[in-house]
């Protein structure tokens, strides 16, 4: 272990030396902010751009972050989007913060995690449950361009003693922490010694780097601790160190209570950002198809057309569920737990499966890195290494399980109260995040009400031929879950219970798609999201995953999606819900 710290040279000093260029002065509105960030990131297809596809791939091969990446993000002031507006930053909604970081993930996941997502996730402890002083400290660090590390798990190797009026003392070491060597603040969750002389359980602590003893934070190899390569990793090692007063977030011993609620907001963020990785992977393959490079199957191939359409539909479905989840944390925090768990389980899976299917389009070029396909393979690797992984996916399903019997008895019918349209509106305003309102179990489910009402609602929209299989599946799931015991997770924790959770997650994604489409259609502004083709294709893909007998998507629907994907690829626009111009100044963007 080697000692490392902020202010000792390297990336943190580079960040501090860069001032904001005039072209990225504060834009107004989330769409304009995304456009301004894209202008800083530059054209992804420009071989001379260090933040373009070729530059990022070359940096990965060198084992480095892209040249100038972190200073460019610092000059833009992206760290200000991790701090709520009431504390001097720009964070108005987690959906907006995730959309901005998604733009970085679209170039390089390591850059996005190292510069932003790790700090944003750790800062949520302060934003949700911190005191006024802890929030001020967190805001001051982030607005200065510093990093905050930790908070992802309970630290099994770090033990706290004391409490009950006595000062806490820490002994042991943490697991590997992203950004720890250069972090100015650390969030750690040690276990209490359990000697009977103090509280049991865990406590959440916000530690300032300047308060720690010299050499307490050391640098580790990312390969040794499972942290993404090219991101600094380290550990905290302490020996009977007295914790300063005002460090505990929440109450001593309440660590599980705090961490489980913060996880509702923190864990869905990374899958939403990973949509950017799938976006770039699909665009790389589509570009190769359009230019008919090497052994890639051309656009005349039905395999190519259906595979591209399927990956595009999966990406949109994943984005719909992410949007609903992140906005629910602000709009309906008491009910967000069920959708947060569904998104943590399903979003990354949809992205990985859709991108994985694209391998069939590459033909003889499936393993070759030339002609831009190196970027595709890089994004495949990044998606495969992204949390939650098998253990995290199982944990998400386990979070869903005990809620299903209650929701089946109270909800999932056409008589329920549907979620508000604000939940499905990209770029719509949301109230500030209120951590105290986060609940571990939802009392009802206004999202799947949309599926329960789908027959009548879609008939009113002129889509009477929409397959009713998803509505019937929700009714069947309700009947099965109503027979399960409430508040007894041990009875449910078996393959049958996990299968029920998986079915719910897929139905929640279908309802999210329906809500986004209906909201866009009722807005009356037209556009792709108001078209039924993408909705019916996405729902068909979900139905297949549920094992339902559905008819194949019509050729007309496939043509609409394929035309849209090709248009966005040729015009350099993102393939997600936001349809953002990539690498183009905001004033040149064709859509807001």
How far apart CA 322 and CA 341 sit, in angstroms, is: 11
Least confident of 208-212, 272-276, 552-556: 552-556
pLDDT at site 489: 61
How far apart CA 311 and CA 111 sit, in angstroms, is: 25
**Tell me: the pLDDT tens digits for 333-371?**
999 999 999 999 999 999 999 999 999 998 766 666 665
Strand pairing report for 177-178 and 2-3: unpaired
With a cut of 60, say whether residue 465 has pLDDT above it. Answer: no
Q: Burial letters for 235-260: b for 16+ Cβ neighbours within 10 Å, e otherwise?
A: bbbbeebebeeebbbbebbbbebbbe
pLDDT at site 39: 95
Cα of first residue to Cα of last residue in the chain, in angstroms, is 49
How far apart CA 154 and CA 510 sit, in angstroms, is: 34
**Tell me: the pLDDT tens digits for 12-39?**
333 333 333 333 344 568 999 999 999 9
Mean pLDDT of 104-131: 97
Report percent pLDDT > 90 for the chain.
70
Q: Are 206 and 134 in contact (CB under 8 A)?
A: yes
Q: What are phi and psi of 219, to 5 degrees?
A: -95, 140
Mean pLDDT of 418-441: 94
* Mean confidence (pLDDT) of the chain: 88
With a cut of 50, say whether residue 155 has pLDDT above it. Answer: yes
pLDDT at site 162: 84
Least confident of 11-20, 198-207, 221-230: 11-20
Domains identified in the chain and CATH numbers: 8-146 (1.10.540.10), 150-252 (2.40.110.10), 262-571 (no CATH)
Q: Burial letters for 46-78: b for 16+ Cβ neighbours within 10 Å, e otherwise?
A: eeebbbbbbbbbbbbeeeebbbebbbbbbbbbb
Sign of CA dihedral 192, 194, 195, 198: positive
Q: Which two tokens stand for residue 233?
A: 């990793």
pLDDT at site 240: 95
φ/ψ bin of 107: left (φ > 0), alpha (ψ from -120 to 50), beta (otherwise): alpha
pLDDT at site 20: 37
With a cut of 50, say whether residue 254 has pLDDT above it. Answer: yes
Sign of CA dihedral 546, 548, 552, 554: negative
How far apart CA 87 and CA 25 sit, in angstroms, is: 19
How far apart CA 423 and CA 445 sit, in angstroms, is: 13
pLDDT at site 566: 96
Q: Are 583 and 323 in contact (CB under 8 A)?
A: no
Q: Which residue, among 163, 208, 162, 201, has the nearest Cα to 184 in the 3D structure?
A: 208
Mean pLDDT of 451-464: 68
Give the pTM.
0.92
Judged by DSSP in three states, 317 sits in: helix
The pLDDT-based confidence of 459 (bands split at 50, 70, 90) is low
**Tell me: the pLDDT tens digits for 59-102?**
999 999 999 999 999 999 999 999 999 999 999 999 999 999 99
The tally of CA atoms less than 13 A away on the side-chain side of residue 93 is 26
Q: Which residue, among 65, 44, 68, has the nearest Cα to 54 in the 3D structure?
A: 44
Q: Which residue has the higher pLDDT, 408 or 466?
A: 408
Judged by DSSP in three states, 69 sits in: helix
């Amino acid at each position: 272990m080697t000692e490392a710290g902020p202010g000792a040279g390297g990336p943190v000093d580079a960040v501090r030396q860069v001032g904001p260029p005039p072209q990225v002065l504060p834009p107004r509105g989330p769409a304009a902010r995304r456009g301004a960030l894209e202008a800083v990131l530059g054209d992804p297809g420009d071989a001379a751009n260090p933040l373009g596809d070729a530059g990022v791939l070359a940096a990965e091969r060198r084992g480095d972050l892209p040249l100038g990446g972190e200073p460019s993000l610092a000059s833009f002031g992206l760290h200000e989007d991790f701090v709520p507006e009431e504390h001097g930053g720009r964070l108005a909604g987690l959906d907006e913060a995730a959309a901005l970081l998604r733009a970085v993930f679209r170039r390089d996941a390591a850059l996005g995690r190292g510069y932003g997502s790790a700090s944003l996730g750790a800062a949520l402890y302060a934003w949700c449950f911190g005191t006024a002083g802890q929030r001020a400290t967190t805001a001051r660090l982030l607005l200065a361009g510093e990093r905050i590390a930790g908070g992802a798990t309970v630290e099994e190797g770090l033990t706290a003693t004391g409490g009950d009026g006595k000062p806490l003392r820490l002994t042991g070491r943490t697991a590997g922490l992203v950004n720890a060597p250069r972090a100015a603040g650390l969030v750690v969750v040690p276990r209490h010694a359990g000697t009977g002389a103090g509280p049991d359980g865990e406590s959440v602590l916000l530690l300032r780097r300047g308060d720690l003893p010299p050499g307490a934070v050391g640098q580790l190899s990312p390969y040794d601790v499972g942290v993404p390569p090219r991101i600094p990793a380290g550990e905290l090692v302490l020996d009977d160190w007295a914790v300063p007063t005002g460090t505990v977030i929440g109450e001593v011993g309440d660590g599980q209570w705090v961490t489980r609620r913060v996880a509702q907001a923190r864990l869905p963020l990374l899958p939403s950002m990973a949509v950017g990785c799938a976006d770039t992977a699909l665009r790389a393959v589509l570009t190769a198809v359009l230019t008919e490079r090497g052994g890639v199957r051309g656009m005349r191939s039905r395999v190519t057309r259906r595979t591209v359409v399927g990956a595009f539909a999966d990406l949109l479905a994943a984005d719909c569920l992410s949007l609903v989840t992140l906005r629910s944390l602000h709009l309906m925090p008491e009910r967000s737990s069920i959708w947060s768990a569904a998104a943590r389980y399903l979003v990354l899976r949809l992205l990985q499966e859709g991108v994985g299917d694209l391998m069939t389009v590459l033909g003889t070029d499936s393993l070759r890195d030339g002609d831009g396909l190196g970027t595709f393979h890089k994004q495949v690797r990044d998606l495969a290494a992204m949390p939650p992984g098998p253990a995290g996916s199982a944990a998400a399903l386990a979070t869903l399980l005990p809620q299903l019997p209650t929701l089946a008895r109270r909800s999932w019918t056409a008589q329920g109260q549907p979620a508000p349209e604000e939940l499905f509106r990209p770029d719509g305003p949301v109230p500030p995040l209120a951590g105290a309102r986060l609940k571990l179990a939802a009392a009802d489910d206004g999202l799947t009400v949309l599926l329960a009402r789908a027959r009548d609602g879609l008939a009113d929209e002129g889509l009477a031929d929409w397959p009713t299989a998803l509505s019937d599946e929700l009714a069947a799931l309700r009947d099965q879950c109503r027979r399960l015991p409430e508040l007894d997770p041990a009875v449910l924790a078996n393959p049958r219970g996990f299968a029920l959770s998986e079915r719910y997650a897929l139905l929640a994604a279908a309802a999210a798609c329906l809500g986004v489409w209906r909201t866009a259609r009722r807005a009356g502004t037209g556009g792709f999201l108001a078209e039924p083709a993408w909705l019916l294709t996405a729902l068909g893909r979900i139905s297949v995953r549920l094992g339902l007998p559905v008819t194949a998507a019509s050729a007309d629907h496939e043509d609409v999606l394929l035309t849209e994907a090709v248009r966005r690829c040729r015009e350099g626009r993102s393939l997600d819900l936001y349809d953002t111009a990539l690498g183009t100044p905001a004033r040149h963007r064709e859509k807001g």
